[in-house]
Chain A
Amino acid sequence: MVLVLALGDLHIPHRAADLPPKFKSMLVPGKIQHVICTGNLCVKEVHDYLKTVCPDLHIALGEYDEETRYPETKTLTIGQFKLGVGHGHQVIPWGDLDSLAMLQRQLDVDILVTGHTHQFTAYKHEAGVVINPGSATGSYSSINYDVNPSFVLMDIDGLRVVVYVYELIDGEVKVDKIDFKKTTASST
């Protein structure tokens, strides 16, 4: 059982002062094995904070990030799954699932994690899953009016991944989960 935290679009300090305290108290160091971040942190302090939650940190470059050396996209393998991460402002139309699926095919990954829209989505299709963890701070977005702070925790176990989404709605943390099973489709 491997826990992977996916979050992004914090926009600290441009659009938000800090993570919600309820989220901060949940993100305890040592419990999570990997962190995937879709970008737009935006400053070094946030990077350092995420590093304390888990040292294995993968970040994609967002358009407001202070640190410009993050990669535009990144792929990694965790267990049986290939994951890819990008910020998503490069995929036009923004938030369009078919266009994101194209990026997924291009990166050749089972799970694609992108952000930019500040809206949680988990889209399953034959070739895999497209996940958007939303904005961890619930910050302003021109695309989405109704933004609640949210992040995603993936539990990867063999050929199965359970995606838990945590959303802060009206002061309470609500959890939802979605199951995905990878078929052992062999890629030539």
Chain B
Amino acid sequence: MRAFDELRKLEIFFKEESNRGCSIVELYELVQHAGNILPRLYLLCTVGSVYIRSKEAPAKDVLKDLIEMCRGIQHPVRGLFLRSYLSQVSRDKLPDIGSEYEGDADTAMDAVEFVLQNFTEMNKLWVRMQHQGPARDKEKREKERSELRDLVGKNLHVLSQIEGVDLDMYRETVLPRVLEQVVNCKDEIAQYYLMDCVIQVFPDEYHLQTLETILGACPQLQPSVDIKTVLARLMERLSNYAASSAEVLPVFFQVEAFAKLNIAIGKVIEAQDDMPVYGAVTLYASLLTFILHVHPDRLDYVDQILGACVKKLSGKGKLDDSKATKQIVALLSAPLDKYKDIDTALKLSNYPRVMEHLDNGTNKEMSNVIIQSIMKNRTYISTAEKVEALFELIKGLIKDIDENHQDELDEDDFKEEQNSVARLIQLLYTDDTEEMMKIIHTVRKHILTGGPKRLPFTVPPFTFSALKLVRRLQSQNENVSGEEAAATPKDIFQILMQTIEALSSVPVPELALGLYLQCAEAANDCDLEPVAYEFFTQAYILYEEEISDSKAQVTSIHLIIGTLQRMHVFGVENRDTLTHKATGYSSKLLKKPDQCRAVYACSHLFWLDEHNDMKDGERVMLCLKRALRIANAAQQMANASRGSSGSVVLFIEILNKYLYFYEKGVLQVTIDSIQSLIELIKQEMSGENTTADLSADAFFASTLRYIQFQKDKGGVVAEKYSPIKAEFAETS
């Protein structure tokens, strides 16, 4: 390069010479007498440049002469540099449109001719480098070649800069000649580089119009050329071009860009039979991106690509090539990102078929991507058909596909995965109750295939989804009377009964118990007494047979009592049975404090505010007295085993309950009973063996304060409370 700079100085010298009278033509002749050919030619080019500038001869002629002369150098590297110099020096002297060197005889065509010829010769030289020297130096040679490639590529750059090269000239002359050289040189490195160069250097509008030509060259290239990258780059450029402005889109349709690209890719894949799978998929992925930019509404095109992909993958079973699977995931994610609405993706019939070829791990990954996309866009899936299609797609998450394949999925990951399926179930919804019923059936069908591992995650959301439908049917039935409803709450309860039963295979009795009770309450609201009773029965059976952990028992009892307390649908007999059982369970809890609390909670079962016929003061008092006995027993036990009396908190709690029922007007809660309980508490608290319990003290104090507040209220309440003597106790 430094030599070139020196030569530039020489050029200036020559120019001066000519100004001083020595004619250029003479100089031109003179330098040809130089001894060695290489310097001779460099000098010639230099003079030639001055010659053209002087305009003493038409540019075209001088250039022709020079380029012929350069043929004298056949050594690849020297030739390349010489011609590169020629190109550099002649660059601004080409007879282009609007340039000063344009004449009648000299046109842009000549300029193009010149550059094309230079390019052709340079390429030949460049390719020749490949075959020089011994085979063992091949790598070194190839490295050298890649360093020099820009010299060749520059010519194409110059071509693109020539103003005179409009679309027609490009299409008729430039491109065919260039491609001819590219194909004929049969050299892998040259072909790859030059194809890429052509794509990068010439404008996108030209590419669109000449698609067929350029694509036609692709199958003719050497099989080892990485044509997929070239095509991918071409499609990328065109995609970006399409995305850049809406006005260019009609041109795409006009030239049937998609059709041509599709055929070309097909041919390439066919021709290169041993192309690795991931190569083919990359091509399809690029084409898909192209379609999404240019023809986003043509779902049939998208499906076509997926179909072609399926065909290519057919017979290969599950892929274990990680590059290929990555590409497939990219391929499948593109429509999701573009359309944002899973509905569209579900319409692509080939989508699930492509997914089939992913190995289990990637299949799940893809399923997760799909779910995330749905959650992000908060789109509801509103028909049973779509639900079916969706569950087909994500079946890797719904059930074990391969019986023998053991999933080494980490427990936390599994939970996360199943939780996202659960969230998905929440989004399967439509206002149309009939359609919703169908959705319920579909969901149920699929989750029951999940096996014991998955049921605890999928059955709860299913249950609540169904219960929501029950509510809507209820309100519907109120408005639309007389019409036969396609689905009734009763049907849904039947389904629920069977589905929750499936949990016994896991088993998760506490969860199942909770769900049974939820259903019972819903049945209560629908006035379906036998159904509600059945749910309670199932819950009780679970409690008796499956729930043995003390803490779980306490929670379950609370749920049972709480639910039962709200039921109004039961007739006397049923109610009695259930209540009797509940109180029985309560008194059999292991720890005395738990027993006590459960038993006094049962007292509420006998006093329902809204129903006058369910107010049984006697049984309320029975419960409370029983609770008191248990509390006493607890105290004694604490005395006996630890030598100190236990906490007096239970008594205070029962006192509060006394006050509660007293206020409600339960006659059996007499003032005497309240008073004696207060005295008992004071006694216990000041006893010798009592351990100080600050929280119990505070509780008692706030209870007494409450009594005082009620007295201060005045009116009926104050009257009730006035007989109660409750002074603040001294805490020692």
Shortest distance from the beta carbon of A27 to any chain B beta carbon, whole Å: 18
CA gap between A44 and B467 in the complex, in Å: 25
Query: Is B566 in contact with chain A by the CB < 8 A criterion?
Result: yes
Q: Which A residues form the contact surface with B (CB < 8 A)?
A: 11-18, 21, 43-45, 63-64, 89-90, 92-94, 98-99, 101-102, 105-106, 108, 125-127, 139-140, 142-143, 145, 187-188
Shortest distance from the beta carbon of A94 to any chain B beta carbon, whole Å: 5
Contacting residues of chain B (438-493) with chain A, CB-CB under 8 angstroms: 457, 460-461, 464, 467-468, 471
What 1/0 mask marks residues of chain B from 16 to 59 whose CB sits below 8 Å from any chain A CB? 00000000000000000000000000000000000000000000
Given A105-B706, A187-B701, A94 contacting B566 (CB threshold 8 A): yes
- Assess the A17–B423 pair: CB atoms within 8 A: yes
- Assess the B660–A108 pair: CB atoms within 8 A: no
CB-based nearest A residue for B598? A92
Q: Specify which of B461, B559, B703 is in contact with A63 (CB 8 Å cutoff).
A: B559
Shortest distance from the beta carbon of A114 to any chain B beta carbon, whole Å: 13
CA gap between A187 and B425 in the complex, in Å: 51
Q: Specify which of B419, B663, B695 is in contact with A108 (CB 8 Å cutoff).
A: B695
- Assess the A92–B558 pair: CB atoms within 8 A: yes
Q: Specify which of A13, A44, A45, A92 is in contact with B561 (CB 8 Å cutoff).
A: A92
15 residue pairs bridging A and B, Cβ less than 8 Å apart: A13-B426, A14-B461, A63-B555, A64-B460, A93-B565, A94-B565, A102-B653, A105-B656, A105-B702, A105-B706, A125-B709, A139-B464, A142-B521, A142-B522, A142-B525
Write out the residue numbers on chain A whose beta carbons fall within 8 Å of the beta carbon of B464: 11, 14-15, 139-140
Closest 3 CB pairs of A and B: A13-B422, A142-B521, A17-B426
Interface bracket on B: 35 or more
- Assess the B419–A13 pair: CB atoms within 8 A: yes
Given A13-B461, A17-B375, A17-B426, A89 contacting B698 (CB threshold 8 A): no
CB-based nearest B residue for A143? B566
Point out which of A14, A63, A105, A145 has the most chain B C-beta atoms below 10 A from its C-beta. A14
- Assess the B566–A93 pair: CB atoms within 8 A: yes
CA gap between A18 and B705 in the complex, in Å: 43
Shortest distance from the beta carbon of B404 to any chain A beta carbon, whole Å: 30
CA gap between A13 and B656 in the complex, in Å: 38
- Assess the A108–B702 pair: CB atoms within 8 A: yes
Write out the residue numbers on chain B whose beta carbons fall within 8 Å of the beta carbon of A126: 706, 709
Shortest distance from the beta carbon of A74 to any chain B beta carbon, whole Å: 13
- Assess the A15–B461 pair: CB atoms within 8 A: yes
CB-based nearest A residue for B474? A145
19 A-B pairs besides A92-B604, A105-B702, A143-B521 with CB distance below 8 A are A13-B422, A13-B461, A14-B460, A14-B461, A15-B460, A16-B426, A17-B423, A63-B514, A64-B514, A92-B565, A99-B660, A102-B657, A105-B703, A127-B705, A140-B468, A142-B467, A142-B518, A187-B702, A188-B701
CB-based nearest B residue for A64? B514
Shortest distance from the beta carbon of A98 to any chain B beta carbon, whole Å: 6
Q: Specify which of A45, A106, A127, A140 is in contact with B709 (CB 8 Å cutoff).
A: A127
What's the A-B contact tally at a CB cutoff of 8 Å?
A: 106
- Assess the A13–B559 pair: CB atoms within 8 A: no
- Assess the B423–A89 pair: CB atoms within 8 A: no
Q: Specify which of A93, A106, A145, A187 is in contact with B604 (CB 8 Å cutoff).
A: A93
- Assess the B423–A108 pair: CB atoms within 8 A: no
Write out the residue numbers on chain B whose beta carbons fall within 8 Å of the beta carbon of A17: 375, 423-424, 426-427
Shortest distance from the beta carbon of B637 to any chain A beta carbon, whole Å: 22
CA gap between A21 and B518 in the complex, in Å: 28
CB-based nearest B residue for A20? B378
Query: Is B339 in contact with chain A by the CB < 8 A criterion?
Result: no
CA gap between A105 and B701 in the complex, in Å: 9
- Assess the B703–A18 pair: CB atoms within 8 A: no
- Assess the B702–A127 pair: CB atoms within 8 A: yes
Query: Is B4 in contact with chain A by the CB < 8 A criterion?
Result: no
Q: Specify which of B416, B525, B562, B728 is in contact with A188 (CB 8 Å cutoff).
A: B728
- Assess the B660–A98 pair: CB atoms within 8 A: yes
- Assess the A89–B562 pair: CB atoms within 8 A: yes
CA gap between A181 and B267 in the complex, in Å: 82
Shortest distance from the beta carbon of A78 to any chain B beta carbon, whole Å: 18
CB-based nearest B residue for A185? B705
CA gap between A140 and B465 in the complex, in Å: 9
CA gap between A43 and B703 in the complex, in Å: 37
Contacting residues of chain B (694-732) with chain A, CB-CB under 8 angstroms: 695, 698-699, 701-703, 705-706, 709, 728, 731
Query: Is B601 in contact with chain A by the CB < 8 A criterion?
Result: yes
CA gap between A17 and B565 in the complex, in Å: 30
Shortest distance from the beta carbon of B586 to any chain A beta carbon, whole Å: 11
CA gap between A144 and B467 in the complex, in Å: 13
Write out the residue numbers on chain B whose beta carbons fall within 8 Å of the beta carbon of A127: 702, 705-706, 709
Write out the residue numbers on chain A whose beta carbons fall within 8 Å of the beta carbon of B604: 92-93
CA gap between A14 and B511 in the complex, in Å: 11
CA gap between A18 and B378 in the complex, in Å: 10
Write out the residue numbers on chain A whose beta carbons fall within 8 Å of the beta carbon of B656: 102, 105-106
Write out the residue numbers on chain B whose beta carbons fall within 8 Å of the beta carbon of A94: 562, 565-566
Shortest distance from the beta carbon of A97 to any chain B beta carbon, whole Å: 11
Shortest distance from the beta carbon of B330 to any chain A beta carbon, whole Å: 27
CB-based nearest B residue for A99? B660
What 1/0 mask marks residues of chain B from 568 to 587 whose CB sits below 8 Å from any chain A CB? 00000000000000000000
Shortest distance from the beta carbon of A13 to any chain B beta carbon, whole Å: 4
Given A14-B464, A127-B705, A102 contacting B422 (CB threshold 8 A): no
Point out which of B427, B464, B565, B731 has the most chain A C-beta atoms below 10 A from its C-beta. B464
- Assess the A45–B566 pair: CB atoms within 8 A: no
Shortest distance from the beta carbon of A170 to any chain B beta carbon, whole Å: 15
Q: Specify which of A14, A18, A90, A108 is in contact with B698 (CB 8 Å cutoff).
A: A108
Given A93-B562, A94-B562, A94-B566, A187 contacting B653 (CB threshold 8 A): no
CA gap between A94 and B558 in the complex, in Å: 10
- Assess the A106–B699 pair: CB atoms within 8 A: yes
Shortest distance from the beta carbon of B701 to any chain A beta carbon, whole Å: 7
CB-based nearest B residue for A14? B460
- Assess the B653–A106 pair: CB atoms within 8 A: yes
What 1/0 mask marks residues of chain B from 369 to 398 whose CB sits below 8 Å from any chain A CB? 000000100100000000000000000000
CA gap between A145 and B424 in the complex, in Å: 23
Write out the residue numbers on chain B whose beta carbons fall within 8 Å of the beta carbon of A21: 378
Shortest distance from the beta carbon of B557 to any chain A beta carbon, whole Å: 10
- Assess the A45–B565 pair: CB atoms within 8 A: no
Shortest distance from the beta carbon of A139 to any chain B beta carbon, whole Å: 8
Shortest distance from the beta carbon of A18 to any chain B beta carbon, whole Å: 7
CA gap between A13 and B521 in the complex, in Å: 21
Write out the residue numbers on chain A whose beta carbons fall within 8 Å of the beta carbon of B419: 13, 43, 45
Contacting residues of chain B (495-531) with chain A, CB-CB under 8 angstroms: 511, 514, 518, 521-522, 525
Shortest distance from the beta carbon of A180 to any chain B beta carbon, whole Å: 16
